[in-house]
A = this chain, B = another copy of it.
Amino acid sequence: MKRKLLLISNSTNAGEEYLGWPRKHIVDFMSDTGIKKLLFIPWAGVNLSDEGLNASFDIYEERVNNVFRLLGMEIYSIHKEKDPVKAVNEAKAIAVGGGNTFHLVYMMHKTGIINAVRQRIFDGMPYMGWSAGANVACPTLRTTNDMPIIQPASFECFDVIPFQINPHYLDANPQGHGGETREQRINELLAINREVIVVGLREATALWIEKGKIDLVGTRPMRLFNYGHEPVEFQPGDDIGFLFKSLS
């Protein structure tokens, strides 16, 4: 299996600087590739500017570049490319930023990049994504926490892993709030999609997939949901290869 993926729960821990905690993992992940320029997908970042979407994507690109340059790398954004599919086909690596998953998926369908991205990943192109960018590596967007601010052509995503990630996985509600907890929401999903496996990926953790192996990165456990079973906690270092058992 050639897939090489770094799927990051969240860009930024509360109170820390932007893309702070995952920096060393991003560097480690890219270190053996020799790749210094990544194609960036900013479509989840809809409101970084009052001047409209393109201005928002410009700001997002700059913000991410400010971090990647510190790491000895550079990104260039797909929103400035005339032919997004061609840009995907010519990219050496792809990074997908967080924000609103529905708008990201809307644009993935609108631009028609999904099959190209999937094929490139199957051919071994490194892919990293945080938050919404981790979510869209999954079969569908059904485990996003985001507000459905726009209706995408379909909920289907890149589908390069055989399970769903719930990014920013959170154990409890704020005190005194009666809404559903994250676990209750995931149980609703499983009730009508019993075949789906969901990984609750807590903040400051990521999944690193490479050479047919999958590892939990970070210092906190992940929570695995499987219909008809109690949720199970896995620590970094635990064998979670079963998540890929259906893959060759």
Contact = CB atoms under 8 A, between A and B. Distances in A.
Contacts of A13: 178
A11 B141 CA distance: 27
Most buried by B among A10, A151, A203: A151
Given A148-B142, A185-B147, A178 B46 contact: no
A151 B149 contact: no
Given A179-B10, A203-B178, A149 B47 contact: no
Interface stretch (A82-90, A167-175, A231-239): A167-175
B144 A188 contact: no
Interface in A41-99: 46-47, 53, 56, 99
What is the copy number of this chain in the assembly?
2
Contact of A147 (B100, B143, B173): B143
Contact of A191 (B15, B46, B178): B46
Given A10-B178, A168-B177, A177-B170, A53 B148 contact: no
A142 B192 CA distance: 21
Contact of A149 (B145, B172, B193): B193
A219 interface: no
A203 B180 CA distance: 13
B172 A174 contact: yes
A14 B145 contact: no
A150 interface: yes
A59 B155 CA distance: 30
A192 B148 contact: no
Interface of A: 10-15, 46-47, 53, 56, 99-100, 103, 140-151, 154-155, 168, 170, 172-180, 185-193, 203
